[in-house]
Amino acid sequence: MTNRISRILIIGAGQAGAWAAHTLRQNGFEGELALVSNEDQVFYERPPLSKQVLAGEMDAAATQLFPSEVIEAMNIEWHKPDTAVAIDRVRREVRLASGKVLGYDKLMLTTGSRARVPVRAWSEIDGVHTVRTLADAKRLGETLLPGRRLAIIGGGWIGLEVAATARKQGLDVTVFELGERLCARSVVPDVSDFLHQLHSDQGVDVRLSCGAIDLAGTEQGAVQLSLDGIAAGRFDAVVVGAGAEIASELGREAGLDTTSGLVVDACGKTSDPDIYAAGDVAIHPELGYCIQSWANAQNQAISAALSLLGQETPYADVPWLWSDQYHCNIQILGAPGNGEGTEIRRDCGDGKVSFIRLGADNRLESMIAVNDAKLIKLGKRWIKARMQLPAEILADPAQNLMQLKP
Ligand SMILES: Cc1cc2nc3c(=O)[nH]c(=O)nc-3n(C[C@H](O)[C@H](O)[C@H](O)COP(=O)(O)OP(=O)(O)OC[C@H]3O[C@@H](n4cnc5c(N)ncnc54)[C@H](O)[C@@H]3O)c2cc1C
């Protein structure tokens, strides 16, 4: 099968694009491999951007996914910075903003997502930031000076990570969240409360149900923030952490089946058998929505690249992601269920606490573990083994959970 494909084109060179290219080369694809990226800096990891890079503890080179000689050896035909603007599926060609037209035998869409800014005009205001790219993190990092006032719009994972990093740098931080609790889309109320307490303890002013937010630049370079039309403070910088927009437009406009993201089968194939997709832009084949996480981008891309080469490799990983805030490493395993079942809090002291959710059949549905990576590892095995779990043992911190090893 590999021999019949002579040219593969990948659009997007983030986590998923990088792992797709690497997997293709590692698995014997010797034909032309072309990549289009609208960022000049490619093949880097985004998780450190809101953490170590923003704090000035990690430089750009350390975020690179593979050593330079490994990237060199991939023998890639680069088109960057350039943007793919249209796919002609009949001619099997992709048109770029530069006017170039690139052919393909197989196409892989790894266009990811981008930071959502709810009001377009906000992007024009000096002092308003998003954190999606290395350039964003560098620009924001330069403004994080002790004593400055930082507003964060949105109490989701990225907003909270930026809040933690900025507090550590000695800024005065306020989080404005429209909803009634933090990270409401991904965690149960108990976890929202935990996050709220964590940030309040560190001196962050968390304003829930804050009302309609508006921003305006001032002559002094600060940003004026108002809530429901009433002035609510001036800030030296504002970070908009209002979620991400899935960059599915290229595939959608080419007529590929699209819901919240590009629809793919378990092997990453879209509704066009010559086009694959992976990472933030593609739905999770079992869950039916996009999972925006580092592990998903990597593993879905590996599975799609192998499948594209004819080695059908279904992808069904349980969602897993992490967040680092202050002294807490927070890991999230599984997907929120339908609300039935049992919620368990396991508090082991010393900052180690977990929020476990069993489905109606007592099987693990999701788990959020703070400073307990071992429990997450065990949880992955429980899910894989479809193990039924005793709630009373999970809730008792005196019980060693290794007794429940599958
Ligand atoms: C600040 C930050 C912190 C994060 N922290 C964590 C974490 O702690 N844990 C975790 O699990 N996940 C984290 N994530 C999420 C994780 O990084 C993403 O899920 C992952 O990067 C997705 O990879 P991707 O390759 O699918 O998409 P992306 O990384 O978005 O890459 C897509 C690339 O394609 C480019 N592109 C898009 N359209 C076009 C086009 N038409 N033409 C050319 N190029 C195009 C984009 O500009 C981009 O360079 C974080 C994300 C961010 C932004």
pLDDT of 343-359, one tens digit each? 999 999 989 999 999 99
Q: Is the pLDDT of residue 3 over 60?
A: no
Q: Which atom in ligand 1 lies closest to the alpha carbon of residue 321?
A: 11
Give the confidence band of 2 by pLDDT, cuts at 50, 70, 90.
Answer: very low
Mutating to test ligand 1, I would choose from 111, 318, 324 the residue with most ligand atoms within 8 A of its C-beta, which is 111
Ligand 1, atom 5: closest residue by C-alpha: 47
What is residue 406's predicted lDDT score, i.e. its pLDDT? 87
8-state DSSP, 293:
-
Mean pLDDT along residues 277-304: 97
Q: Is 21 helix (H, G, I), strand (E, B) or coil?
A: helix
Distances from the Cα of 122 to the Cαs of 126, 231, 397, in angstroms? 9, 16, 47
Taking the centre of ligand 1 as the mean of its atom positions, its distance from the CA of residue 321, in whole angstroms, is 14
Atom of ligand 1 nearest to the CA of 282: 26
List residues near ligand 1 (CB under 6 A). Answer: 11-17, 36-39, 46-47, 49-50, 83-84, 110-113, 131-132, 158, 247, 250, 279-280, 292-295, 297, 321-323
Q: Give the fold, CATH level 3, of 327-404.
A: Enolase-like; domain 1 (3.30.390)
Higher pLDDT, 290 or 338: 290
C-alpha of residue 126 to centroid of ligand 1, in Å: 24
Q: Which atom of ligand 1 is nearest to the CA of 82?
A: 43
What's the confidence (pLDDT) of residue 204? 98
How high is the pLDDT of residue 404? 94
Gyration radius from the chain CA atoms: 22
Give the span between the Cα atoms of 237 and 213, in whole angstroms.
15
Inter-axis angle of helices 294-308 and 15-26, nearest 10: 40
Contact 152, 247 (CB under 8 A): no
CA-closest residue to ligand 1 atom 29: 14
Q: Ligand 1 centroid vs 65 CA: distance in angstroms? A: 13
pLDDT over 90 at 340, yes or no: no
Q: Where does CATH 3.50.50.60 sit in the chain?
A: 2-114+245-308, 117-240
Mean pLDDT of 87-101: 98
Residue 248 contacts by C-beta under 8 Å, 6 or more apart in sequence? 111, 258, 261, 262, 281
The closest of 278, 268, 271, 255 to 309, measured between CA atoms, is 268
Classify burial at 124, counting beta carbons within 10 Å of its beta carbon; exposed 0-12, middle 13-18, buried 19 or more. exposed
Which of 133, 280, 284 has the most ligand 1 atoms within 8 A of CB, as the residue to mutate?
280
How many beta carbons lie within 10 A of that of residue 57, not counting itself? Answer: 12
- Tell the residue nearest (CA) to atom 42 of ligand 1: 83
Q: How far is the CA of 313 from the centre of ligand 1 (A)?
A: 23
CATH number for the domain whose boundaries are 2-114+245-308: 3.50.50.60
Q: Which two tokens mark 234? A: 């001036």
Nearest atom, ligand 1, residue 296 CA: 19
Contact 46, 294 (CB under 8 A): yes
- The residue assigned the tokens 């079992």 is 286
Q: Which atom of ligand 1 lies nearest, measured to the CA of 36?
A: 43
Residues 6 or more apart whose Cβ sits within 8 Å of residue 62: 48
Hey, whose CA ends up nearest to atom 50 of ligand 1?
47
Ligand 1 atom closest to Cα of residue 18: 25
Distance from the CA of 43 to the center of ligand 1, in angstroms?
Answer: 10
Among 20, 11, 26, 35, smallest CA distance to 301 is for 20
pLDDT band at residue 50 using 50, 70 and 90 as cut-offs = very high
326 C-alpha to ligand 1 centroid (Å): 23
Average pLDDT value for residue range 204-209: 98
Q: What is the 3-state secondary structure (H, E, C) of 92-125?
A: CEEEECCCCEEECCEEEECCCEEECCCCHHHHHC
* Closest ligand 1 atom number to CA of residue 281: 26
Q: How far is the CA of 12 from the centre of ligand 1 (A)?
A: 9
Residue owning the nearest CA to atom 20 of ligand 1 = 294
CA nearest ligand 1 atom 3, residue: 47
Q: Measured between alpha carbons, how far apart are the two ends of the chain, in Å? A: 39
- Identify the helix (H) or strand (E) that includes residue 79: strand 77-79
Q: Ligand 1 center to residue 14 CA distance, Å?
A: 6
Does residue 81 have a cis bond before it (omega within 30 degrees)?
Answer: yes
Q: Report the CATH fold assignment for 117-240.
A: FAD/NAD(P)-binding domain (3.50.50)
Residue range(s) occupied by CATH 3.30.390.30 in the chain: 327-404
Q: Which of ligand 1's atoms lies nearest the C-alpha of 291? A: 19
- What does the chain come to in residues? 406
What is the structure's pLDDT at 4? 82
Residues 57-72 have pLDDT tens digits of 999 999 999 999 999 9
pLDDT of residue 1: 45
pLDDT at position 216 over 60: yes
SS3 345: strand
